Amino acid sequence: MTDLAVHEHIGLPVFERLGPHASRAEQVAHLAEAARQIRVQDLKLVHHAGAGHIGGDFSAIDILATLYGAVLDISPDRVGDPERDRFILSKGHVAGALYTTLAAFGFLPAAELATFLRPLSALNGHPNRTKVAGVEASTGPLGHGLPVAVGHALSAKLDGSPRRTYVLTGDGELQEGSNWEAMMAAAQHRLDRLTVIVDRNRLQQGATVKETNDLDPLRDKAAAFGLAVTEVDGHDHGELLDVLSAAPSPGKPSFVIAHTHKGHPISFMSDDVAWHHKVPDEAEYHQALTELEKR
Amino acid sequence: MTPTSVADRPRYDCRDAYVATLSELAHDDHRIVGVVNDSVGSSKLAAFRASFPDRLINVGIAEQNMVGVAAGLANGGRIPFVSAASCFLTARALEQIKADVAYSNHNVKLCGMSPGLAYGELGPTHHSIEDIAWLRAIDNLTVIVPADPVETSAALRWAAAVEGPVFVRVSRMSVPQVNADDYAFVPGKAVTLRDGGDVTLIANGTVLWRALVAAEQLAADGVAARVLSMPTVKPLDVDAVVAAARETAGIVTVEESTIAGGLGGAVAETVVQHHPARVAILGVPEFAPTGSAAFLLDRYGMSPEAIAASARDLLRHG
C-alpha cells in the first residue's frame, strides 16, 4: 500500500502471548488492552472503508481477543500445523473484527488491514480461507460454521488428537436449522473437545431476536440437545478466559452463551439495532475514539 | 457382421464398482472416510462399514450438516467421500457445496448416488436432473459423470489422489461396460469411443451406451457418427467439442439430466463461442411423469433409435 491517507489509520501493536507464569490478573489486563486496541483499529477500518458490521464486531471482539490472546493452541508460525486448535468464525460478517484480531496477534501484517474492502484485497467483507492465513472456513452465509466445526472435531477424535475446535455463532444465526442438525451430531458423537460460543447480543439485522424468532429458553434448548451449557458475560475477559480454557465436560460438547451487547461499549451504539452495519460519521467516529481511549 | 452390439453386453450397477473402489482406496489411505445421510443401504456401503466401522460417519437425515461436516473433516486432514442420493446432496446442501467445499477449497469428494432419473417411479422429488447444471455453475469444483463401472472406478481413484473438490455421479441404473478394462481417467478430456466424420454424438453417464448403439445403427445406414464420451462436464474438453463442430455436420448431445445448463448447455456455449454449428440437445425437459428410468429415457428421445433419428434430422437440415 502506498496510500498514506489510509496508512495513517493503521496503528495496531502486535500483542505477544503472555508466558505460562503470568498471573490471571496480568492475563486479563493484557486481553483487555488487546481488545481495546482491536476496537480502536476496527472502528478506523469501518470508518475508512465506509462499510462493515461494527455492531457485531464490537459484541464479538472480547471473545475473539480472549481466544487468540490466551486460549487457542495456535500461533502465527503454526497456521498450517495439523495439530493446531481450530477457530471457525461462523458469523462471517464480522470479518473486520477477525482481521483486526488476527493482526493484533501477529497472524496478519497490520499494514494489510489498510486494504479492507478495497478492490482486489484479500480482506473481503466475509473471510476467505484461501486468501487469509488463519481463516479456517470461508463463511458468510449463516449456519455454516457449526457443521464445519463438528466435522473438524470428528477428525480430531478419529485421530485421537487433543486439538480443540471452537466456533463462534451469532444468536440470530441460530434460527438456521443447520445449527441444530450439527448440535445433534456433536452430542451423538460425544465431541467434548468442541466448544460452541454464541455471541448472545439479542439483536439481529432488523430487530431483536425475541421479536423476530425467539431463541429462549436457549440454555434449556442446548442442554436438551445434549450440550454442556455455560453462561458468561461476553465482555468479561476473566470469565471468558476461565470458561473457554476449562477442561471439557467428558462426553459432552460445550455450549457457551456469551451475553454481549451489540456496539459495546460505545454509548450511542450499544444495544442499538441501527448499528448492525451503520458506518459512523465524522462526529460519531471521533466520539467513539474518545470513549475507547478513556477506557 | 459387426462385432456384438454394445446393447448386448452384460449390465452393471456402478454402485458396486463404487463401494469396491472406495474400500480399496480406504484400505491404502487411512485419511479416507465415508460420510452419509442414513444412506448406507442406498449407497451400497454396508461392506465399507463392515471393513471400516469407525470411518463411516452417518450424520442422519441432515444434508446441510453432512456437507459441512465433510468440509470440517477435510480441514482436519481427512479425505471425506460424501455418499448420498444426488437429489438431496445437491439440492439440500447446495450452499454448503458452494461455500464450505468449493469456495473454502476443502478437499471433499461429493458422490451423487442414483442420479438423474434413477428413482424412476418415485417421481421428480427424487429425480436428480438438475445436479449437473447447478454444480457446473460453481467455481473450483470438477464435475464428473462416469458411464460405466470402469470409469466410475477410475474417476474415484483420480478424485482420491487429487487435492480439491470433486463431484462424481454414481449411477444406479445398470449399464454395459463401454470403456476398456485398462481405461485411465483423464480429467477434462473427451474419449473418442468411435470415430466418424459425418455427425458427432456427445454423451456421458447412463446414456452413453445408448449413443453408441445409435452410432451402430447409423453405420448400418452408411452414416459415420463420431461418439465422444464426455465424462468431465466441468472443465469441458473444449478442443474436442470445437473439432467436432468443425469436422462434422453437427452435434447431438445426450444426457440423463435437464436440457437446461447440463452437458448440452456446456457444449452449446462452447460451440457458439468458438465455432458455431448445429447442436441438438437431448435430455429431460420437464418434471417427468410416472415411469421407470428406462421408460422415461425412451420417452424423452434417448432410445438408440431416437438418438439416431436426431442425428439424421440434424444431417438433413444441416
The pLDDT assigned to A20 comes to 85
The average pLDDT across A187-205 equals 97
The pLDDT assigned to A5 comes to 46
Whole-number average pLDDT of chain A: 95
Q: Is the pLDDT of residue B297 over 60?
A: yes
Integer Cα distance of B107 and B125 in angstroms:
29
More confident residue, B65 or A6: B65
CB contact under 8 A, B100 and A153: no
- Would you give the DSSP letter of residue A215? -
The pLDDT assigned to A294 comes to 81
Integer Cα distance of A170 and A234 in angstroms:
12
The residue of chain A with its CA nearest to that of B57 is A154
The average pLDDT across A234-252 equals 98
Q: Which helix (H) or strand (E) holds A194?
A: strand A194-200
Q: Give the number of A-B residue pairs with CB atoms closer than 8 Å.
A: 111
The pLDDT assigned to A3 comes to 45
Digit-coded pLDDT (tens) for B175-211:
999 999 999 999 999 999 999 999 999 999 999 999 9
Q: Is the pLDDT of residue A206 over 60?
A: yes
Buried b (16+ CB within 10 A) or exposed e, B141-158: bbbbbbbbbbbbbbbbbb
Band the pLDDT of A200: cuts 50, 70, 90: very high
Integer Cα distance of A183 and A187 in angstroms:
6
The average pLDDT across A18-27 equals 93
Integer Cα distance of A158 and A142 in angstroms:
27
Whole-number average pLDDT of chain B: 97
Which residues have C-beta within 8 Å of that of residue A98, sequence separation ≥ 6? A64, A89, A127, A135
The pLDDT assigned to A1 comes to 38
Q: Does A82 touch chain B (CB under 8 A)?
A: yes
The average pLDDT across B158-187 equals 97
Integer Cα distance of A107 and B276 in angstroms:
51
Q: In terms of C-beta density within 10 A (0-12 exposed, 13-18 middle, 19 or more buried), how is residue B71 classed?
A: buried
Q: Does B69 touch chain A (CB under 8 A)?
A: yes
The pLDDT assigned to A4 comes to 41
Q: Which residue has the cell 480439491?
A: B164
The pLDDT assigned to A39 comes to 98
User: Given the DSSP bridges, would you call strands B191-194 and B225-229 parallel, antiparallel or unpaired?
Assistant: antiparallel
At A120, the amino acid letter reads: L
Chain A residue numbers touching B74 (CB-CB < 8 A): 151
At B238, the amino acid letter reads: V
Nearest to A156 among B74, B76, B105 (CB): B76
Q: Which is it for the CA torsion B242, B247, B252, B253, positive or negative?
A: negative
| Helix (H/G/I), strand (E/B), else coil: A87 | strand
Instruction: Note whether A9 and A44 are within 8 A (CB).
Output: yes
Q: How far does Cα A11 stand from its chain's mean position?
A: 21
Q: Which residue has the cell 469501518?
A: A46
The pLDDT assigned to A295 comes to 74
Q: Does A175 touch chain B (CB under 8 A)?
A: no
Instruction: Note whether A139 and A127 are within 8 A (CB).
Output: yes
More confident residue, B4 or B302: B302
Q: Is the pLDDT of residue B1 over 60?
A: no
| Helix (H/G/I), strand (E/B), else coil: A216 | coil
CB contact under 8 A, B104 and A147: no
Digit-coded pLDDT (tens) for A107-124:
999 999 999 999 999 999
Chain B residue numbers touching A151 (CB-CB < 8 A): 68-76, 80
Q: How far apart are the first and last CA of chain B?
A: 30
Band the pLDDT of B3: cuts 50, 70, 90: low
Q: Is the pLDDT of residue B315 over 80?
A: yes
Band the pLDDT of B318: cuts 50, 70, 90: low
The pLDDT assigned to A8 comes to 64
Which residues of B are tagged catalytic? 63
Digit-coded pLDDT (tens) for B76-88:
999 999 999 999 9
The pLDDT assigned to B4 comes to 85
Digit-coded pLDDT (tens) for B230-254:
999 999 999 999 999 999 999 999 9
More confident residue, A261 or A11: A261
The average pLDDT across B31-35 equals 98
Integer Cα distance of A276 and A46 in angstroms:
12
- pTM, two decimals, is 0.96
Integer Cα distance of B96 and A175 in angstroms:
17
Q: Is the pLDDT of residue A9 over 80?
A: no
Mutate to test the interface with B, among A81, A89, A126, A154 (most CBs of B within 10 A): A154
